[in-house]
Amino acid sequence: MTELSKQDALVQYTAQIADNGLIIGHRMSEWCFRAPAIEMEMALMNCALDMIGQARELYSYAAKTQGEGKTEDDFAYLRDERDFRNALLTEIPNGDWGDTIVRLFFMSAYNELFFKALATSTDAELAAIGTKSLKEVTYHLRFSSEWLIRLGDGTEESHTRVQKSIDDLWIFTGELFTMTDAENMLLTDGISVDVTTLKTPWDQKISEVLTRATLTVPTNDWAQLGSKSEGLHTEHFGYIITEMQYLQRRYPGCEW
Amino acid sequence: MTDKANQQEWPLWEVFIRSKAGLDHKHCGSVHASDSEMAMEAARDVYTRRSEGVSIWVVPSNVITASKPEDKESLFEPADDKIYRHPTFYDIPKGAGKM
pLDDT-above-90 percentage for chain A: 95
**Domain for residue A255, yes or no?**
no
- Tell me how far apart the alpha carbons of residues A108 and A213 are, in angstroms, rounded to a whole number: 17
Contact A175, A89 (CB under 8 A): yes
Name the closest residue on chain A to residue B41, using Cα atoms: A143
**Domain for residue A169, yes or no?**
yes
- Tell me how far apart the alpha carbons of residues A162 and A213 are, in angstroms, rounded to a whole number: 10
Contact residues, chain A, for B45 at CB < 8 Å:
39, 42-43, 46
- CATH number for the region B3-96 comes to 3.10.20.520
Name the closest residue on chain B to residue A158, using Cα atoms: B6
pLDDT score of B72: 87
pLDDT band at B95 (very low <50, low <70, confident <90, very high): confident
Contact residues, chain B, for A36 at CB < 8 Å:
none
Distance from CA of B43 to the nearest CA of A (A): 8
pLDDT score of B91: 82
Contact residues, chain B, for A154 at CB < 8 Å:
1, 5
Using CB atoms within 10 A of its CB, is residue B94 exposed (0-12), middle (13-18) or buried (19+)?
Answer: exposed
Domain count, chain A: 1
Fill in the DSSP letter of residue B31. E
Q: Which helix (H) or strand (E) holds A28?
A: helix A6-29
| Tens of pLDDT, residues A214-239 | 999 999 999 999 999 999 999 999 99
Q: Which residues of A124-160 are buried (b: 16+ CB within 10 A; e: fewer)?
A: ebbeebbebbbebbebbbebbbbbbbbbbbbeeebbe
List strand residue ranges (DSSP E) for B1-99, in order.
Answer: 12-18, 26-32, 55-60
| Tens of pLDDT, residues A44-77 | 999 999 999 999 999 999 999 999 999 999 999 9
Best interface-test mutation with A: which of B12, B41, B44 has the largest number of A CBs within 10 A? B41
Contact residues, chain A, for B4 at CB < 8 Å:
none
Listed in sequence order, the residues at least 6 apart from A179 whose beta carbon sits closer than 8 Å to its beta carbon are: A187, A194, A195, A196
pLDDT score of A2: 64
**What's the gap between Cα A60 and its chain centre?**
17
**Domain for residue A17, yes or no?**
yes
**What's the gap between Cα B29 and its chain centre?**
8
**Strand pairing partners for B27?**
B16
Cβ-based contacts under 8 A for chains A and B? 35
pLDDT score of A123: 98
The CATH number given to whatever domain includes residue A79 is: 1.20.1260.10
Alpha helices in A67-193 (DSSP H): 72-77, 88-91, 97-118, 124-152, 156-169, 181-187
Distance from CA of A143 to the nearest CA of B (A): 7
**Domain for residue A34, yes or no?**
yes
Instruction: Return the SS3 of A153.
Output: coil
Partner-chain contact A38 B6, CB within 8 Å: no
**Strand pairing partners for B14?**
B30, B59
Distance from CA of A146 to the nearest CA of B (A): 8
Per-domain residue ranges of chain B = 3-96
**Domain for residue A1, yes or no?**
no
ipTM of the complex: 0.76
Domain interval for residue A95? 6-250
For residue A40, pLDDT beyond 70:
yes
Contact residues, chain B, for A155 at CB < 8 Å:
1, 5-6
Contact residues, chain A, for B6 at CB < 8 Å:
155
Of B6, B35, B46, which has the smallest distance from its Cβ to A155's Cβ? B6
Contact A186, A235 (CB under 8 A): no
Q: How many other C-beta atoms can be found within 10 angstroms of the C-beta atom of residue A203?
A: 14
